[in-house]
Amino acid sequence: MNLTSPFPLALGAIVGLSLLGVPIGHAMIGGSVLYLYLRGMDMGAAAEQLLNGTYSSFLLLAIPLFILAAAIMSSGSILDRLLRFCNAIVGRFPGGLAQVNVLQSVVFASMSGSALADAAGSGKLMQEMMTRGKRYTPEFAAALSAVSSVIGPILPPSIPLVLYALVSGTSIGYLFIAGVLPGLLLGAVQMVLIWWLAKRRNFPLEPKVPLRDMPRVTRQAFPALMLPVVLLGCLYSGVTTPTEAAGVAAAYALVISVLLYKLRWSDFYDCLLDSARMSVSIGMLIAGALVFNYVITSENIPASLSRVLSGLDLSPLGFLLLVNLLLLVLGAFLEGSTIILVILPVLLPTAKALGIDPVHFGVIAVLNIMIGLVTPPYGLLLFMMMKVANVPMAALLRETWPFLAVMAGALALVVAWPDFVLLLPRLAGYTG
């Protein structure tokens, strides 16, 4: 390859801008504009194709609506009530507060589609609760908060799965329901590992919540727990489109927060600002990825890669193993949305040619990317929790490895057993 040709120069520009601290979305736009200029291509025609193509999809509107619903549900007293509910359910078991950390990630899946947001919000709170009174070491609490945060984006409503639906044309409803069992499996293997570690390390037990208090604790958390039920009910009843379901979820979150959880209007204003900032950030990333995908398509890279992979004569399982390795490595270096928007469109044609179900492939891809966030040496969640807990990376990694081992086992099951992933979608009418 000629390193002075437009495509290598565009890649160099993207990497250089990223190293200078430019957001990756802006860096991709800058590198892509350079490519179009060097190739002498009509930038207006390229912009018109993009605006009339994927970027005009109504599915994109679901992302800021899900983010708004998450911001509302994470404010006020909702967080405390849901944590009390989680403690009432699993706090009595060995490693009780650690078990609560995992369960809250499952419960809060309906309140955030982002692993980084989970770690920065409820994960940070759990870090403080677990280390209070030296009940757990800071490095164990940080490692657990990091690995449990990857569960939420696999369960509905999942922003990574929305982005995958955008680039693949797959039904967002079937993707959401396909993520349920793998997400619960990930939580289950983490909780089993905690139970085993609790026996070996004598983790402290939490005071049992009396059975007479269970109805009250459940009643206080019930409206918030109903959010995913309302969302999936709208999707699978056919009453709404995915975008309209996101709007219903945001409206439901606002109504119960104001009427039942006494959300103040000043807090609601903060929710609007926070969700607007995150939506703009994701929107710029999507814009940059779509422009760069235009460049990749112009270079005919998807077709070339498909020919190379076809020449390797890989079986569907062999291809998925190769994809797993690639995505785990990339997930340790790149933000997940970038991988979904840039890398997966290149791999999708080969996956379809090999007969791999697109819903199964999407769940595998997102699961890989999420695990990549806690994969050494550069997993983003590891760096975030290292700063939150103020612990050295070496100590954090020692506590992370056992969780990575059981999560890899769960991933292997999801890859090798498509029927496990597709069970719920098929019960809902999926025929793929």
Does residue 113 surpass a pLDDT of 60? no
Alpha-carbon distances of 162 from 113, 116, 158, 362, 412, rounded to whole Å: 10, 17, 6, 10, 23
Dist. CA 336–CA 102, nearest whole Å: 21
Confidence at 378, pLDDT banded by 50, 70, 90: low
Alpha-carbon distances of 282 from 67, 119, 182, rounded to whole Å: 10, 18, 25
Does residue 241 surpass a pLDDT of 80? no
Alpha-carbon distances of 222 from 18, 75, 229, rounded to whole Å: 44, 16, 11
- The residues, any chain, with a CB within 8 Å of residue 261's CB and separated by 6 or more, are 76, 77, 78, 81, 223, 224
Q: What does 81-130 look like in DSSP terms, one character per residue? A: HHHHHHHHHHTTSTTHHHHHHHHHHHHGGGG-S-HHHHIIIIIHHHHHHH
Mean pLDDT value of segment 74-100: 74
Which one of 15-29, 227-241, 404-418 scores highest in mean pLDDT?
404-418
Does residue 112 surpass a pLDDT of 60? no
Task: Please indicate whether residue 429 or residue 54 has the higher confidence score (pLDDT).
Answer: 429
Does residue 1 surpass a pLDDT of 60? no
The lowest-confidence range among 40-44, 155-159, 189-193, 377-381 is 377-381
3-class DSSP assignment, residue 328: helix
Tokens of 90: 């699993």
Q: What pLDDT score does 57 carry? A: 65
- Please name which of 298, 373, 285 lies closest in space to residue 337, comparing C-alpha atoms: 285
Dist. CA 416–CA 392, nearest whole Å: 36
Confidence at 93, pLDDT banded by 50, 70, 90: confident
Mean pLDDT value of segment 286-308: 76
Task: Please indicate whether residue 102 or residue 59 has the higher confidence score (pLDDT).
Answer: 102
Q: Cβ(73)–Cβ(178) under 8 Å?
A: no
Does residue 181 surpass a pLDDT of 80? yes
What is the value of pTM for the model shown? 0.79
Q: What pLDDT score does 123 carry? A: 63
Does residue 362 surpass a pLDDT of 60? yes
Token look-up 């469109």 returns 345
Mean pLDDT value of segment 25-50: 81
Confidence at 56, pLDDT banded by 50, 70, 90: low
Does residue 133 surpass a pLDDT of 90? no
Mean pLDDT value of segment 136-148: 87
Q: What pLDDT score does 316 carry? A: 87
Q: What pLDDT score does 155 carry? A: 85
Dist. CA 430–CA 432, nearest whole Å: 6
Dist. CA 345–CA 340, nearest whole Å: 8
Confidence at 413, pLDDT banded by 50, 70, 90: very high
